[in-house]
Structure 1
Amino acid sequence: MELNVKLRKEKDDLLADPSLYRKLVGSLVYLTITRLNISFAVQQVSQFLQTPRHLHLVVVHRIIRYVQGTSTRGLFFPTSNSTHLATYSDADWASCADTRCSITGWCVFLGDALISWKSKKQDRVSKSSTESEYRTMSLACSEIILLRGLLAELYFSETDPTPLHADNTSAIKITTNPIYIKSYKSSLNLFVLQD
């Protein structure tokens, strides 16, 4: 996507036949299973399935051109990979021009291999970037707990804490506050790093 472009519901003319738009976006949503690098852009265009406009179709065509130009890229899982999890989270505060909702994004690595990710609009409007980032970190923690349980079932039990990398200083301070986190820290078995 172009930098600093905010897609809106009411900008430009409606498409006469939205079926092509819906088919293309559906295909791109399916493609995000293996192409993390387009998840954010696809999430942006998928919110206009009800009333797509010409500008939205232009963005979809741009994503498709990008995918065609990078068809040799993909996810790789090295055979000598470690079984240590690492998680990165971020939020784009109030980035939706229509609803002012934030975009949640996180990804989880098993050693050097990317194994889980998400890019999604939050369902509530956050009053601050700290609140938005904190929600994202909470969702990332839920994924960490799920993946640690899955690894334990596969006999790859994690003994070390799982790092959660975040970039919002205020949200990090809240999560590391001993008053709030004391009772949960041992059960979650994770720690937060500032990048």
Structure 2
Amino acid sequence: MDVKNVFLNGTLSEEVYMKPPPGTSPPPNKTPHGIVLLLLYVDDMIITGNDLQAISDLQHYLGQHFEMKDLGSLNYFLGLEVSRRSDGDLLSQAKYASDLLARSGIIDSNTSSTPLDPNTHLTPFDSVPLEDVSLYRQLVGSLIYLTVTRSDIAYAIPIVSQFMAAPRTIHFTVDLRILCYVKKTLGHGLQFSSQSSPVLSGYSDADWAGDPTDRRSTTGYCFYLSDSLISWRSKKQSVVSRSSTESEYRALDDATAELLWLRWLLADMGAPQQGPLSFIVTIVVLFRLLTMMSFMNV
């Protein structure tokens, strides 16, 4: 749905209140289904669901209160492509990735089977500084947005993004390798199945002292709703872990926080998870208690 709103920088002839004026308390805009909508400064909105009649009623209700246009079924939105299949939907960024490859000038280059060489460990002092850093920063920034649907490069992109301030030639070479991998895997994306039960599961891991400069580890986790990937993360830990066990527990701590949030979110959406959770939480709480005791003994 395209919401025809007023441009924020346009000239207004009416008096506009950023909050309700004194003495007034306007009721919220509620749909017939009890959904509270805030459509100020919104250009587009996406309506999803299985109840076609309810969606039609909602569109009719919105059309009575706001000037809107129905753009039809969702196919392309903010660089995201939605392909409908018999067993579900595929969310990808193939066109966005193709445009990125064209801007980088590696259309005719070779492809790569992996985004990173496992034996490569980058530091801020490798090789020589780049003379023009603008292209490097543009490519890394574009690759960051590509991780919206490409979890397979979620580990590689934070590594090259660490050197945005002062990139060197070796960093640019690794950046190009990631693009060569993207070229080989243009069709990759997120598959959301429509025929499986909404059961939540997840995995966490960590590489101990993976960064050769600051010796910090990297946390990685991913969560699936049945066989559909819905959440993932790859981020360097904020402190230096003194053992591989400690780095694993820190990764588990972050994964547990995400797991709790996902369970609450699914419960709000009408798909509560009934599986056990106490074992994971107990491990994290125990690790925190042991950490506090170690500081108390110093």
Length-normalised TM-score, structure 1:
0.83
Is the aligned partner of 1:140 residue 2:259? no
- Counterparts of 2:170 and 2:121, CA distance in 1: 11
What is the DSSP-based 3-state SS (H/G/I as helix, E as strand, rest coil) of the residue aligned with 2:191?
Answer: coil
Is the aligned partner of 1:19 residue 2:134? yes
- Counterparts of 1:144 and 1:98, CA distance in 2: 31
Aligned length: 171
- Counterparts of 1:17 and 1:67, CA distance in 2: 23
- Counterparts of 1:88 and 1:82, CA distance in 2: 19
What is the DSSP-based 3-state SS (H/G/I as helix, E as strand, rest coil) of the residue aligned with 1:101?
Answer: coil
Q: How far does residue 79 in structure 1 lie from its aligned partner after superposition?
A: 0.6
Question: Out of 283, 287, 298, which is 1:175 matched to?
Answer: 283
Assess if the C-alpha contact under 8 Å between 2:160 and 2:175 holds in 1.
yes
Assess if the C-alpha contact under 8 Å between 1:21 and 1:52 holds in 2.
yes
Partner of 1:185: none
Q: How far does residue 95 in structure 1 lie from its aligned partner after superposition?
A: 0.5
Partner of 2:117: 2
Give CA deviations for 1:35-72 in whole Å, capped at 9, x if unaligned: 00001111111111111000000001010111011001
Assess if the C-alpha contact under 8 Å between 1:83 and 1:156 holds in 2.
yes
Amino acid at match of 1:5: T
Partner of 2:175: 60
Question: Out of 188, 196, 207, which is 1:81 matched to?
Answer: 196
Q: Residues 35 and 163 from structure 1, CA distance in 2 versus in 1: closer, same or farther, beyond 3 angstroms?
A: farther
Partner of 1:121: 236
- Counterparts of 1:74 and 1:33, CA distance in 2: 9
RMSD of equivalent CA atoms: 2.0
Give CA deviations for 1:131-186 in whole Å, capped at 9, x if unaligned: 1110100000000000000000001011112599xxxxxxx8x8289xx39xxxxx
Partner of 1:50: 165
Partner of 1:169: none
What is the DSSP-based 3-state SS (H/G/I as helix, E as strand, rest coil) of the residue aligned with 1:130?
Answer: helix
Length-normalised TM-score, structure 2:
0.55
Structure showing greater Rg: 2
Q: Whose helix fraction is larger, Structure 1's or Structure 2's? A: 1
- Counterparts of 1:56 and 1:144, CA distance in 2: 34
What is the DSSP-based 3-state SS (H/G/I as helix, E as strand, rest coil) of the residue aligned with 1:75?
Answer: strand
